[in-house]
Chains A and B, each alone.
Chain A
Amino acid sequence: MDTLTGNTRVTQSPDVTSTPVELSKRTTRLTARDVTVHYGSKQALHGISIDIPDRAVTSFIGPSGCGKSTFLRCINRMNDTIEGAKVGGTIKLDGEDIYDPSLDVVELRARIGMVFQKPNPFPKSIYDNVAYGPRIHGLARSRAEMDEIVHSSLRKAGLWQEVKDRLAEPGTGLSGGQQQRLCIARAIAVSPEVILMDEPCSALDPIATAIIEELIDELRENYTIVIVTHSMQQAARVSQKTAFFHLGNLVEEGNTSDIFTNPRNKQTQDYITGRIG
C-alpha cells in the first residue's frame, strides 16, 4: 500500500514536481538490452531494454509483481543470490558488461550500491554501519580518514545532526526513517557510481518519506539513482525519467513529465490514472 495516498484511488495523473533536467544532454550510465529473468521455469522479465541517464533519478513504476524490483536487482546482480534465478541479455555499466564472467561481483556492488525496501542496518553501532563498506573495500588509509568518510556520509544522508552524539549506539535503535537514512549513508560511504533503491519509503511514515525524497533529490547531483516505487506521486516528485513495467514487460519509458502528462500507451495511462494497479 502506498503510504501517501492511503487506499484512495487516484483518478487523475499526479502532478510532476521533480526538478526538470535536460536528459538528452546527459550521458547514459547504464544500458540494458533484452534482459530476461527466469525463476526456475517461470519467466519474470521478458526482454527489458532501457538506458539509465547519469546524475538523474530514474523511477520504475508498475503494479505488484510486474518485475520492476527483479530488474533493479539485475543491475547489481543481487539476483545471483537467489536459488534458481537465471538472467539473460546484457547490462552494461559505462560500456562494460556486468555479467561478464571476468567481472568480480564484489567490485560491481562497490560501484552500484543498494538501499532496500525495509531498513536493514547491521546490528552494530551507527559508526560501524557506515564504516563497514569503506573498511571491507580498504578505502580508508587511516583512522582519521575513516572518521571523515563516516561523518561526511552521515552529513550527505542528512542524519548527522541527529546522531553525531551517539555514533557508538546501535544502528538498530534508530527510528525507521533514521534507519533508512543510515542505510543510505552506508551505501554512499563507498562512493558508488549508481545507487539502487528498492521502494525505500514503503515502510516509512509520510514525514520520514518526505525527508528521504528530499535527500534523493540532493543526491541526484552526484549520483545516478534508480528507484523502484509503488507510489506514482513519489515517481512524479523525485524522478526525471520514468519506466512503467507491467507483467514482466517494459511498457513505456521516457521523461517523467511526458509519462505522466502525455503517455503514449493505453496501459500506462490506465495505471497512472489509477484504473489498473
Chain B
Amino acid sequence: MTDVTASRPLSERTQLIRKNLRRRHMSETIFRALGLLAIIVALGFVALLFADILRKGVPAFTQSNLHLTATFDPEIIDVGPPPGRIAGQSEAEFRAASLKWQREVAMLNWNKVVEASLRALAPAGYEIAAKDLLTIPETDARHRLREMFVADPSLLGQTVKVDVLASANADNWIKGNIDRSLPDSQQQLKAPARALIDQFVSNGTISMGFAWSLLTNVDSRAAPASSGLLGALVGSLYMMLIVIVLAVPIGVAAAIYLEEFAPKSRLTDFIEVNINNLAAVPSIVFGLLGAAVFINYMHLPISAPLVGGLVLTLMTLPTIIIATRGALLGVSPALRQAALGMGASKTQMVFHHVLPVTFPSILTATIIGVAHALGETAPLLLIGMKAFVASVPATPLDQATALPVQIYLWQGNENRNFFESHTAAAIMVLLVLMIALNGIAIFLRSRLERRA
C-alpha cells in the first residue's frame, strides 16, 4: 500500500495554518518561559528572606548560661529571721511585718553574693575588679538569688547550685557577635572579664542552652539577655481574640445582609463601593482613626490590646465582608431555588443551605484576615502600643505591646550586636504563628470541603 498522505502536496490552506501555528507555538513558549522566570525570581526572593532570617535568628534560640555555686553567706545577708506568727496578731499586722522583712532583704547588697560565687569559680588569685566581674552574669542574677532567699529563708548559710544567664555582652563575646580583634577601648567588656569568660566556657562553667527566656520572659532593658516575647505574644493573642470575636460576626453578618437581603439601590451600591475602598485604605489611617475615636473621644486606655483589637477589627472588616460576599455570590442559583421552592424562608435558605456551602471559603478568608491583622504594625504605633512594656498584660485593658511592634522595638535597640539576632528570632516566632494560622485555614478548608 502506498503512502497517500506523503505524496500529496500540502494545500495552500494547510500551509497557511502551519505558518500561523509556528507563530502561535512560539508565543506560547515565550509566555511559559516568562512565567517560569517570574516564579523563579519570586521564590528566589522568598528563599533569600527566609535564609537571612534563619541565619540571624537561629543563634538567638541558644543562650549562654552561667552555672553558679552561690553561698548565702550570713555575713553579707545580715538580716534577722523572717517574722513568725505571734499569737493575737492580726492578719494585716503579720503581713506588714513580713513586708518590712522583705524590704530589709531587698536592701542588702546581693551583688556581693554574686561576686563571691564568681570569685570562687575563678582561678585562685585571679585579678579582676568587682565591677568588671559583675559584667559577666546578667544583671538580674542578684534578683534571682534574692527571690530564692525570700522564698526559702532556711537557705541562709547554705551553698546551692544556681543557673543564671550570662550577660548580653558576654553572650556576644562567646558567640563571636563582636569582633575579638578590636582594641580594648572599643570592647564592651574589660580584658580580664573576657579572659575569664573564655576560661568559664572551656571548663563548662558557662554552657549554651535553649533560650526558653525568649518565650517565657517579658521585654527587659536592664537585663537584655533575659528579654523575651511573652508580653508581646499575650498582647497579640488578646488582639487576635478581639478581632475574631468582633470582626468575624460583624463582617459575615454585614456581607449576608448586603448580598442576600438588602434591596439593590443606589444606597447599597454606594455602601458596596465604599467597602471596597476601605479595603485599600492604608492601615496607618486606621491607626489615626483609632487614636482619635477610641482614645481621644471614648477615653479608652492608651497602649491597650482592646484598642489595638478594635483598630485591627476595623481594618479586617472590609476584607472579611468582601471575601464573604464573593463566596455567597458563588453559590449556584439552583440551590437557592431548591430551598425557596420547598417553602424555606429567605433566612432559612441562607442559614440552612447557602452558609453551610460557603462556610469553608468564609473560614479561610477569616483566618487569613486575622493572620493579616496579627502582622499589622503601623496602626498600633499610633495608638501607643510601641511603648516599652515590661509586664504580661493581665487583661486586654492593660498596657501591652504586640509581636510586630516588639520586632520594631528590638530592631531599634542600641545593643545592636545582641538584639539583631533577637529581632530575627522574634520574626521567626511571628512567621511560625502566621504559617500555623494559614496551615489551619488550609486544613479546615480541605476537611470541610471533603465533608460537604
Contacts and interface: CB of A to CB of B under 8 A. Distances in A.
Contacts of A186: 342
A118 B334 contact: yes
A144 B344 CA distance: 23
Given A83-B264, A132-B352, A136-B348, A121 B338 contact: yes
A107 B343 contact: yes
Interface in B261-279: 264
Contact of A183 (B338, B339, B344, B348): B338
A121 B352 CA distance: 13
Contacts of A120: 334-335, 337-338
A114 B225 CA distance: 73
B339 A123 contact: no
A133 B356 CA distance: 17
Contacts of B395: none
Most central of B340, B348, B352, B353 by chain A CB within 10 Å: B340
B340 A109 contact: yes
A116 B341 contact: yes
Contact of B343 (A116, A122, A123, A190): A190
B357 interface: yes
B199 interface: no
A114 B348 CA distance: 17
A113 interface: yes
B337 A106 contact: no
B342 A190 contact: yes
Contact of A123 (B264, B342, B452): B452
B296 interface: no
B345 interface: yes
A122 B341 contact: no
Nearest to A172: B452
A29 B342 CA distance: 20
B225 to A, nearest CB: 57
B119 interface: no
Nearest to B341: A114
Q: How large is the interface on B (under 10, 10 to 19, 20 to 34, 35 or more residues)?
A: 10 to 19
Contacts of A106: 343-345
A114 B343 CA distance: 10
Contacts of B357: 123
A217 to B, nearest CB: 22
Secondary structure dominating the interface of B: helix
Interface string B332-365: 0011111111111100100011001100000000
Contacts of A57: none
Contacts of A137: 343
A110 interface: yes
B361 to A, nearest CB: 14
B345 A122 contact: no
Contact of B340 (A81, A122, A187): A81
Given A83-B264, A116-B334, A123-B452, A78 B345 contact: no
Interface string A102-113: 000011111001
A78 B337 contact: yes
Contacts of A123: 335, 356-357, 452
B180 to A, nearest CB: 68
A53 to B, nearest CB: 23
Interface in A154-201: 183, 186-187, 190
Interface in A19-37: none
Nearest to B342: A133
Contacts of B352: 132, 136
Contacts of A224: none
Interface string B410-452: 0000000000000000000000000000000000000000001
A232 B351 CA distance: 40
Contact of A113 (B264, B341, B345): B341
Interface in B343-389: 343-345, 348, 352-353, 356-357
B342 A136 contact: yes
A269 to B, nearest CB: 35
A78 B337 CA distance: 8
A131 to B, nearest CB: 11
A266 to B, nearest CB: 36
B189 to A, nearest CB: 69
Contacts of A190: 342-343
A101 B137 CA distance: 84
Nearest to A183: B338
A124 B334 CA distance: 14
Contact of A132 (B334, B337, B342, B345): B342
B338 A116 contact: yes
Interface in B298-348: 334-345, 348
Contacts of B344: 106, 132, 136
B339 A122 contact: yes
Nearest to B335: A120
A137 B345 CA distance: 10
Contacts of A153: none
A166 B344 CA distance: 26
Contact of A109 (B264, B336, B342, B356): B342
A171 to B, nearest CB: 11
A241 B138 CA distance: 97
A76 interface: yes
Contacts of B334: 116, 118, 120
Contacts of B342: 109, 113, 132-133, 136, 186-187, 190
Contacts of A113: 341-342
20 contacts: A78-B340, A78-B341, A108-B343, A109-B340, A109-B342, A113-B341, A116-B337, A116-B338, A118-B334, A120-B335, A120-B338, A121-B338, A122-B335, A122-B339, A123-B452, A136-B344, A137-B343, A186-B342, A187-B341, A190-B343
Given A110-B343, A116-B334, A116-B341, 5 more contacts: A78-B341, A109-B343, A123-B335, A187-B341, A187-B342
Listed from nearest, the 3 A-B pairs whose CB atoms lie closest are A109-B343, A120-B334, A114-B341
Interface of A: 76, 78, 81, 83, 106-110, 113-114, 116, 118, 120-123, 132-133, 136-137, 183, 186-187, 190
